[in-house]
Amino acid sequence: MSKRLSASQNAKNTNKIPIVARSSSGIVTEVILDSEHERVVKVSDDYKKEYFTEKETDVVGYAVIRPLDDNTSAENSLFTYRPLSPSLLEVPLVGEIVELYKIGNVRYYRRYSSVNINKGNAGKDRNKVTYQKTDKSSSSKDYNTVAKTNTPNNSSESDRSTVIGEYFEPQQVNKLKLYEGDSILQSRFGQSIRFSGYNNEENKFSPTITIRNRQNDESINNLKEFDLVEEDVNKDGSIIALTSQDYKIPFQPGLIDDGGSSNFETTPLYAEIPEEYVGQDQILINSERIIISSKAAEMMFFSKGNYSIISDGDLSMDFGFGGAKLDFGGEVILTTDRNSSNVSINTGDGQIRLNTDDSGNGGTGQKEPIARGETLVDLLSQLIDAIGQQIFATPAGPTAAGPLNIAIFKKIQSQLDTIKSTKNFTE
């Protein structure tokens, strides 16, 4: 049987934990976005040394907030509030209504969720209220008093001329369609991370993670402000999809127009493209440009199945300080006949070796060098001319120039150019 605590014991225990005040609401009038904010730079160096254990940037994310029940205090005397969850910070807008908390002597704020994801509940000039001006304080310590002990700050009384921020512009961003059990993180700018198990055509259990950077323009233009939207792996901004089994990725290469047609033109000759991207764990990365960099060590690619590179553009590989080793276990086919283009191999003063590992400097097992076509034809032509001019010394005197079958040699000479290839050339 538990013992009942006395009133004095309860009071004593209560003093050991922070007191969480009942929450209220307020209107954001300023947000500290960087260390150049006037509420930071006006703090004296001595005061920073005394009260700040970190750099002054530890107050970035604080907001100046007017409680809804306060329409008399001057703006420069309002309290500064800390974000309730700085590790998952949602920066409010000027004119946005936020939830206020007081834990012990420290004041905190938290954004309310809103139907309008982009601008939340921020209203035009909502931060401007009628109030009675109060005298400014000349103390240079006022800001830190606000940040650390939550007493009023009197460092500024400038009127704000912006609507809901200095440069923020309201944009249409549509909320994501939900599936049972989803966990979704969605920003006011259209970025989102979805953890889902049933976002497939048959609503079968197939866990997926979808990371999206931007809602596509077509859906923004076609949808009303509060319509729901679903990620589009082809049209949205940069997107990463980690899927499994029954989630079918509706991927199409290239840019997709409003009619669903792709601008990708190359038809693969050898690659076996899946008819549907479904039935396995898969990862899709799709963007207008992808950059992968290995800064200090290897970059390795492993594929149990076929390895395909399909492009409408050129393929270039530049190895400035190393060579290349290509080991193929099957037939190698190199074609450029799609556009009847040339194949060029340039080694400078190096050599090209076909079916030999020899150095070419002599030794047993050395393979023969390739003949030069033009040179061979020229030498053979000179040889036939020389044969046609032969004169033999006999006891009866020198013979006439040339053999009796000189016509045959001349016919062979006329065919020498057929030795030369019309498509393959060497130095």
Domain boundary residue among 288, 310, 332? 310
Are residues 55 and 140 part of one domain? yes
Answer yes or no: do 93 and 140 share one domain: yes
Q: Tell me: do 131 and 27 sit in the same domain.
A: yes
Bridging pattern class, strands 80-83 and 106-111: parallel
193 and 265 inside one domain? yes
Residues 46 and 124 in one domain: yes
pLDDT for res 264: 94
Q: Which residues of 214-242 are buried (b: 16+ CB within 10 A; e: fewer)?
A: ebbeebbeeeeeeeebebbbbbbbebbbb
Per-residue pLDDT tens over the stretch 33-65: 887 777 776 554 544 444 444 444 568 889 999
The reported pLDDT for the residue numbered 166 is 85
Residue 356 in domain: no
**68 with 115, same domain?**
yes
Last residue of one domain, picked from the residues 279, 295, 310: 310
Q: Look up tokens 């190698």; give the residue.
A: 332
Convert the pLDDT of each residue in 3-44 to its tens digit. Answer: 444 444 444 444 454 555 667 999 999 999 887 777 776 554
Q: Give the β-pairing of 24-31 and 97-103.
A: antiparallel
DSSP letters along 1-57, please? -PPPPPHHHHHHHHTTS--BPPPEEEEEEEE--STTSHHHHTS-HHHHHHH-SS-GG
pLDDT at 391: 87
- In the numeric block, which tokens belong to residue 265? 């033109």
Is the pLDDT at 132 greater than 80? The verdict is no
pLDDT exceeds cutoff 90 at 220: yes
User: Residue 419 gets which letter from DSSP?
Assistant: G
Please give the pLDDT value at position 52.
Answer: 43
Residue 304: the pLDDT is 93
In a domain, 220, yes or no: yes
**pLDDT bucket at 322, cuts 50 / 70 / 90:** confident
| Percent of the chain residues topping a pLDDT of 90 | 49
Same domain assignment for residues 273 and 230: yes
Query: How many structural domains does the chain have?
Result: 3
Q: How far from chain centre, in Å, is Cα 391?
A: 82
**Angle (nearest 5°) at CA 79 between 76 and 84:** 140
**Is the pLDDT confidence value at 178 over 50?**
yes
pLDDT digits (tens, 9 = 90+) for 357-376: 655 554 455 677 888 899 99
In this structure, the answer to whether residues 98 and 207 fall within a common structural domain is: no
Is the confidence at residue 399, as pLDDT, over 90? no
The pLDDT-based confidence of 195 (bands split at 50, 70, 90) is very high
Q: Please report, rounded to a whole number, the percentage of residues in the chain having pLDDT higher than 70.
A: 80
Domain assignment present for 41: yes
52 and 90 housed in the same domain: yes
| Same domain for 288 and 407 | no
- Which of 90, 117, 149 terminates a domain? The answer is 149
Contact (CB, 8 A) for 6 and 13: no
pLDDT greater at residue 288 or residue 402: 288
Q: Which whole number is the average pLDDT over 363-390?
A: 84
**Alpha-carbon distance 231 to 219, whole Å?**
10
- Band of pLDDT at residue 270, cut at 50, 70 and 90: confident
155-169, 217-231, 402-416: least confidently modelled range: 155-169
**Secondary structure (DSSP) of 178-209:** --TT-EEEE-TTS-EEEEES--STT-----EE
